[in-house]
């Protein structure tokens, strides 16, 4: 669930393979079918593969470099291994779903079905979704609406009687839909191993890839090399791919293999199950974990004596790494606490809230419960600092260039800080528990702090979001994404000078960063520096003409300057792209 590498000792049946690199809207780029092996005994030994490569997403700053080349590389090797291969590139949702439906219909009882997907994938509610190129994603429900759920594809193959299902995903990328906390770049969720299924993810669950501008990826290149080994079983080939990529990248990219199959099969048509299975690394007993050296107390037994030092024995447990079962227990405990919190808040009585606080006196939910208890008891809550107007001194006039630093001149009316929703949805519970566990496991995980900051910002818990972004930036000062998101939250809280500094730092690190230009336009719009705001929005829209936030912000700025026709055009176009954009801006105090 939290990024562990699972390589089960089970094996794969000889039947079906699906490959999906990135998809492109509206058409299948190519279809190539090889001959199908004959059936034997009424059970098909057919091998079917679907490969999809999505590289051109309108919301992305640039096309993904590797999916097209990876698709061609893998398609050729699978054809050599006797697979009937169908490929698609840059597919929208209708074309992707049609390709999957056609593929599923071809799979016969006992067949091998392989799916490979390269492009963008997003997890929502612990389910993984393939993202078509025409997806419009601003929130988790949008992922579920516009994406293709992987578990649904696997279930369809199961109903067709596929003997083996192989899923290869190269989709754990920092996604291009990261606009104002409306989605996450959290990598893929870890699936549960299913029967007759092998799943290889190019990055560990919960992590994202570092992009390359090469024509093919190290992951696909190694995968093809291992598939070509004639004596290897499918599971051995995928496991060897994961090990080789992790080793070559010095563990910067750690693919994960999830195995849940029961019979071995090989990619090579002539592969024969060995009489004595080859010894594999995962079959050997794991060596006992050796705790760090602990100096024995005076008089304690030395190493090598028949009796261990009590001090050393006690030190071993705290220094052991956090195990998966410990993380699962943490998640279960946090979810149970949140359920109790939801129940107490639903009742809304003094007794229910006091009961919850007695059982859970600390933590973020306790803080919210105390605030609600104070309200129920009639205790007045003093205004938060974020609710007070922030005075901003008049700045020097902005430079004409879009990249210049336009400082705010007049602060716009303060936006009241809104308390987070009273209850957590199950998806939010799961999301927060996952992020908390990652931070507990590794307190120096800058990405986890960044993603938890996004989580808090989505719930309008801006102080908690800023605290997490602060930590992410402290651990990774060169992250333009974290600086940009802290800029946005600070702007919402009317901390306009600090917000402007964050946006400028983000643009120094990543010139032409569309989201940072949009954020700086937002800061200037709130400060009533309208010409500076328009300059930033113009720069963003030159790079991303369909950026709805920049269109709507520019429309407001033009409206305030009396440019009615241009303003109406911007606002209309923005609403056509994102029908909720006006409500988003209204909640920030901008109309």
In whole angstroms, what is the distance from residue 565 CA to residue 223 CA?
Answer: 55
CB under 8 Å to 361, separation ≥6 — which residues? none
Q: Which pLDDT value is given to residue 256?
A: 87
DSSP 265-291: --SSTT----SSPPP-GGGSPPPPPPP
Q: Which pLDDT value is given to residue 185?
A: 55
In whole angstroms, what is the distance from residue 563 CA to residue 322 CA?
Answer: 60
In whole angstroms, what is the distance from residue 484 CA to residue 504 CA?
Answer: 9
Count the helices and strands in the chain (H runs, E runs): 20, 12
Q: Which pLDDT value is given to residue 501?
A: 96
* Segment among 144-158, 164-178, 208-222, 336-350 with least mean pLDDT: 336-350
327: its two tokens: 């993380």
3-state secondary structure 465-494: HHHHHHHHHHHCCCCHHHHHHHHHHHHHCC
Q: Which pLDDT value is given to residue 101?
A: 95
Place of tokens 């094996």: 11
The DSSP code for 197 is: E
CB–CB of 437/342 below 8 Å?
no
Element of type H or E holding 18? strand 16-19
DSSP 286-336: PPPPPPPP-PPPTTPPPTTSSS--HHHHHHHHHHSPPPHHHHHHHHHHHHH
Question: Residue 463 CB: number of other CB atoms within 10 A?
Answer: 14
| Average pLDDT taken over every residue of the chain | 75
In whole angstroms, what is the distance from residue 97 CA to residue 52 CA?
Answer: 11
Burial per residue of 403-442, b for 16 or more beta-carbon CB atoms within 10 angstroms, e otherwise: eebbbbbebbeebebeebeeebeeebbbbbbbbbbbbebe
Phi first, then psi, for residue 285 (nearest 5°) are -65, 135
**Side-chain half-sphere of 140: how many Cα atoms within 13 Å?**
18
* Segment among 313-327, 353-367, 539-553 with least mean pLDDT: 313-327
256: its two tokens: 């994960």
Q: Which pLDDT value is given to residue 581?
A: 81
- pTM score of the predicted model: 0.50
**Which of 79, 50, 294 lies closest to 162 in space, CA to CA?**
50
Residue pLDDT, tens place only, 429-478: 666 777 888 888 889 988 889 888 888 887 778 888 899 999 999 999 99
Residue pLDDT, tens place only, 260-281: 766 778 898 888 776 544 444 3
In whole angstroms, what is the distance from residue 53 CA to residue 33 CA?
Answer: 17
Q: Which pLDDT value is given to residue 56?
A: 93
Confidence of residue 316 (pLDDT cuts 50, 70, 90): very low
157: its two tokens: 């193959």
Classify 36 as helix, strand or coil: coil
Element of type H or E holding 141? helix 140-146
In whole angstroms, what is the distance from residue 236 CA to residue 270 CA?
Answer: 16
CB under 8 Å to 145, separation ≥6 — which residues? none
In whole angstroms, what is the distance from residue 64 CA to residue 13 CA?
Answer: 34
Residue pLDDT, tens place only, 336-373: 777 788 778 767 788 888 998 999 888 767 877 887 88
In whole angstroms, what is the distance from residue 22 CA to residue 149 CA?
Answer: 15
């Amino acid at each position: 669930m939290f990024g562990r590498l699972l390589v089960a000792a089970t094996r794969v049946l000889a039947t079906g393979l699906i490959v999906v690199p990135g998809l492109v809207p509206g058409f299948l780029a190519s279809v190539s079918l090889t001959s199908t092996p004959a059936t034997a005994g009424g059970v098909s030994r057919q091998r079917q593969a679907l490969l999809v490569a999505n590289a051109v997403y309108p919301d992305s700053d640039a096309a993904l470099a590797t999916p097209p080349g990876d698709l061609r590389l893998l398609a050729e090797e699978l054809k050599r291994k006797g697979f009937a291969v169908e490929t698609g590139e840059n597919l929208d949702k209708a074309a992707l779903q049609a390709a999957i439906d056609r593929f599923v219909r071809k799979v016969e009882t006992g067949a091998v079905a392989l799916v490979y997907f390269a492009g963008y994938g997003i997890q929502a509610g612990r389910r993984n979704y393939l993202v078509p190129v025409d997806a419009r994603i601003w929130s988790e429900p949008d992922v579920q609406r516009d994406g293709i759920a992987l578990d649904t594809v696997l279930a369809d193959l199961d109903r067709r009687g596929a003997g083996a299902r192989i899923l290869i995903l190269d989709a754990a990328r920092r996604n291009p839909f990261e606009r104002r906390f409306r989605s996450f770049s959290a990598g893929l969720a870890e699936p549960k191993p299913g029967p007759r299924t092998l799943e290889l993810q190019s990055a560990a669950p919960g992590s994202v890839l570092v992009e390359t501008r090469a024509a093919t990826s190290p992951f696909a290149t190694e995968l093809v090399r291992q598939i070509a080994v004639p004596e290897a079983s499918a599971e051995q080939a995928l496991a060897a791919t994961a090990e080789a990529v992790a080793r070559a990248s010095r563990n910067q990219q750690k693919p994960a293999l999830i195995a849940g199959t029961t019979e071995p099969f090989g990619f090579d048509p002539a592969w024969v199950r060995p009489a004595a299975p080859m010894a594999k690394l995962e079959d050997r007993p794991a060596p006992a974990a050796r705790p760090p050296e602990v100096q024995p107390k005076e008089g304690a037994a030395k190493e090598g004596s028949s009796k261990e030092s009590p001090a050393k024995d006690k030190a071993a447990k705290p220094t052991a790494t956090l195990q998966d079962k410990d993380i699962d227990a943490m998640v279960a405990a946090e979810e149970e606490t949140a359920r109790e919190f939801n129940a107490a808040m639903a009742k809304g009585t003094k007794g229910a809230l006091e009961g919850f606080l007695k059982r859970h006196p600390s933590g973020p939910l306790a803080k919210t419960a105390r605030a609600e208890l104070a309200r129920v008891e009639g205790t007045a809550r003093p205004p938060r600092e974020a609710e007070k107007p922030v005075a901003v001194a008049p700045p020097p006039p902005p430079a004409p260039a879009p990249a210049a630093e336009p400082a705010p001149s007049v602060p716009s009316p303060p936006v009241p800080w809104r308390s987070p929703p009273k209850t957590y949805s199950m998806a939010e519970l799961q999301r927060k528990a996952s992020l908390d566990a990652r931070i507990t496991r590794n307190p120096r995980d800058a990405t986890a702090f960044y993603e938890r900051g996004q989580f808090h910002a989505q719930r309008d818990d801006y102080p908690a979001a800023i605290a997490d972004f602060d930590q992410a930036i402290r651990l990774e000062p060169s992250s333009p994404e974290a600086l940009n998101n802290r800029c946005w939250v600070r702007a919402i809280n009317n901390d306009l000078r600090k917000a402007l500094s964050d946006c400028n730092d983000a643009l120094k690190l990543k010139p032409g960063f569309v989201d940072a230009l949009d954020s700086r336009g937002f800061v200037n719009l709130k400060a009533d520096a309208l010409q500076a705001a328009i300059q930033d929005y113009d720069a963003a829209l030159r790079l991303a003409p369909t950026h709805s936030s920049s269109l709507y912000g520019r429309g407001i700025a033009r409206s305030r300057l009396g440019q009615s026709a241009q303003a109406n055009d911007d606002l209309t176009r923005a609403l056509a792209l994102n029908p909720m954009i006006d409500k988003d801006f209204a909640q920030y105090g901008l109309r």
